[in-house]
Structure 1
């Protein structure tokens, strides 16, 4: 008995001795964006987890010291609406070229994952990619093969025929017929049974969340407009099937009727929410639905207008959306609707994501602190990760960044990132 106890003690000592420990020394420390910041502090990280926070700059024996005493250390940022496997400012026809295979998209995603992590984002939700390309990027990061943020992915979004994510919209009949014959088109669905089946197939691919196009979109070449696409019954079938699979659901939604239809059907988040009305706001508040404003997307889309990058119908819709820039977010914020930061990175260049916080303040009317809460705790709650990330509490994953200045009062501070750690692993910054 004594021998077995002694052996167990020795095993524990050996394990502790082999633990990877970091001492992150901060000049200012934000543990929780909703609470006051601390002064000089040290965050102790062991084997990827935050084990304790000490006052002042401490240097535990055997720890790797990270000297950030001139910086503010805070929770890593969370972007719940990105498209890592695509790049911005490409002509609408560019992705029709042969090189844009799923394999090429996955390589693009690996590149953009690192860019996004270096910008201070330690967790992202990719809500729209071709085939299984984003799933491959997510898994490569999880396996430690490539550096990047923690990822959740939706895979291909669901679309009605002729809708925002129907890849055949705007093509010649020959090309459309060819696309209709491909297995990947299962996400373009009609009727409750077909849409439910599409959700199950996405679940079988290993997605973390389902995304569907509740309304038209700005950047698709269709002329249907920005109002409701799927029927109320189809929306409910999509959402009920996803929830039965323990998957949350995000709805791309611009027009007021489509927004409220998705909310009443039980969707977990409204993405964009451009023309939301009083009924939609009230229903979101009652049901606890998250609002994801993607304000950077408006700027990115309008910057493409007049350059031959968009088809004429898309340019018209971009101008319409730009006129309502920030209005929906301001309404949601004033009403107390839950808010998470999302940017639509891929519509604009990856790596600029943190500028969303400033727009949430200047366009959405949020305070810097509330915008920072949305960028950390809000995203964690929406993604079901509050036990894992969003704050720097003991026991959580070591997802943290270092910035210049005070992000609780200055939104621009988060655009100056000098250090990033994701799940206890430092991200190479060069």
Structure 2
């Protein structure tokens, strides 16, 4: 629900130059110079490129960094055996299944007969994870997070989200995090970065890049179409693969009115044009703001409490997705601030009904936690909240796998454990086809081919 101030982090060093933006972001994220963990580190790994990663790739397919003589680490093959493999596409479950990972990809997944050749191919080289008694699902996707440091990324990853879409960062930290998986497998989820929030008030984020200096002189903030296009273009130039903007203020700040219109349809359309194909996610609450954002061509509506039936029909026709961040909105009910507590009591039931109406209208509902910093909500908690609002268990599973993968354009690699998919796997203690609550019961996470957590 964006209760946080996106621009609250300290400003970077004043000597930050244009070509050192990404390095500065990495420093702000808590990454030391070439701070790659050893193979025995507690948080392990990836081999396939993350979307939006800044590193170039060598002809061999291995990443390279100009001027850096080292090479990216390789991960050992991994065999996950004995669990029940769940396919979010078909809803099928395969008992006593095997998943073989090698080179950052799924080599085989299925019953023992179907995977026998693949297992033999990694014999003597592979590590083995015993998944007996557990349920094997693809790595989960959180479609709305705010990760500004390595610890944020670690917590998100350990809760099962191996792919995430950023809802913006303060100083391009998400862009730096997107580059890490190739070099430090398992240190960060696969990040689809947004860069800076396209919002009227940039605050200290104007210091993230020298090219943003002209925006500091705007007395009314970033509102004119040419300023919006400039900020969006700088984000894209720095490596943002999605763009985050807003139609309304934040619901989680009592002094703000979340139904006030910040950007109208024409302004949002200017952002969509300047994004040049990068999906735009739009923070919006009011019926007017949501409708304008959808007509402007945004890729997804975030929060969307007061979306109406006509706009849901328009979203379904256009293929616009809905990220309700339901658990975050509902959590306001427990706020010590009376304004926020009342807002939570009012908004939560309305949003639950909006989720049901969106699903009935054929709108793609995706799970996003709106986690900020180390205040991380497990992605499974949001999936359970969506199920509590009326989504069947299989649809809740799809909200954290296949559906956000399609939103991000990575459905051939993410959201399903089939040959060629990325080597991201989550083990659950109970059956997600029986209850979405199972998605909160994460006991192991394999990210980018490396085990980062295994409680079993």
Q: 247, 252, 277: which is aligned to 2:283?
A: 252
Which residue of the partner structure matches residue 296 of structure 1? 327
Q: Which runs of 5+ in 1 are unaligned?
A: 1-17, 86-108, 169-180, 307-311
Which residue of the partner structure matches residue 375 of structure 1? 400
Q: 95, 105, 118: which is aligned to 1:49?
A: 105
Q: Could you tell me how far 1:412 is from its partner in structure 2?
A: 1.4
User: Does 1:71 find its partner at 2:111?
Assistant: no
User: Does 1:366 find its partner at 2:391?
Assistant: yes
SS at match of 1:40: strand
Distance change >3 Å, CA 56–CA 212, structure 1 → 2: same
User: Does 1:391 find its partner at 2:416?
Assistant: yes
Which residue of the partner structure matches residue 10 of structure 2? none
User: Does 1:327 find its partner at 2:353?
Assistant: yes
Distance change >3 Å, CA 297–CA 347, structure 1 → 2: farther
CA–CA separation in structure 1 for the residues paired with 2:376 and 2:272: 30
Alignment deviations for residues 54-110 of structure 1 (CA, whole Å, 9 cap, x no partner): 42396532222211122111111100001122xxxxxxxxxxxxxxxxxxxxxxx21
Alignment deviations for residues 319-353 of structure 1 (CA, whole Å, 9 cap, x no partner): 54235241211110111111211111129931532
User: Does 1:279 find its partner at 2:305?
Assistant: no
Q: Could you tell me how far 1:294 is from its partner in structure 2?
A: 0.5
Q: Could you tell me how far 1:194 is from its partner in structure 2?
A: 1.4
User: Does 1:38 find its partner at 2:71?
Assistant: no
CA–CA separation in structure 1 for the residues paired with 2:334 and 2:368: 19
SS at match of 1:354: helix
CA–CA separation in structure 2 for the residues paired with 1:290 and 1:298: 18
Q: What number of residue pairs does the alignment pair up?
A: 366
Alignment deviations for residues 108-153 of structure 1 (CA, whole Å, 9 cap, x no partner): x211211111111111111122121222233234421761211111
Report matched runs for 1:124-139 at 5 Å.
124-139=164-179
Q: Could you tell me how far 1:160 is from its partner in structure 2?
A: 3.0
Q: 8, 27, 38: which is aligned to 2:83?
A: 27
Which residue of the partner structure matches residue 113 of structure 1? 153
Q: Could you tell me how far 1:19 is from its partner in structure 2?
A: 8.3
CA–CA separation in structure 1 for the residues paired with 2:393 and 2:150: 31
Q: Which runs of 5+ in 2 are unaligned?
A: 1-73, 205-211
Q: 266, 269, 277: which is aligned to 1:236?
A: 269
Distance change >3 Å, CA 137–CA 199, structure 1 → 2: same
CA–CA separation in structure 2 for the residues paired with 1:186 and 1:154: 23
CA–CA separation in structure 1 for the residues paired with 2:143 and 2:380: 12
Which residue of the partner structure matches residue 80 of structure 1? 143
CA–CA separation in structure 2 for the residues paired with 1:384 and 1:293: 20
Moved more, 338-347 or 388-397: 338-347
Distance change >3 Å, CA 328–CA 400, structure 1 → 2: same
**Bigger Rg, structure 1 or 2:** 1
Distance change >3 Å, CA 320–CA 305, structure 1 → 2: farther
Which residue of the partner structure matches residue 100 of structure 1? none
User: Does 1:407 find its partner at 2:432?
Assistant: yes
- CA RMSD in angstroms, aligned pairs only: 2.6
Which residue of the partner structure matches residue 7 of structure 1? none
CA–CA separation in structure 1 for the residues paired with 2:93 and 2:78: 21
Report matched runs for 1:203-222 at 5 Å.
203-220=236-253, 222=255
CA–CA separation in structure 1 for the residues paired with 2:340 and 2:374: 16
SS at match of 1:324: helix
CA–CA separation in structure 1 for the residues paired with 2:142 and 2:437: 17
CA–CA separation in structure 1 for the residues paired with 2:347 and 2:213: 33
Q: For the Cα contact (< 8 Å) 1:297–1:347, is it kept in 2?
A: no
SS at match of 1:343: coil
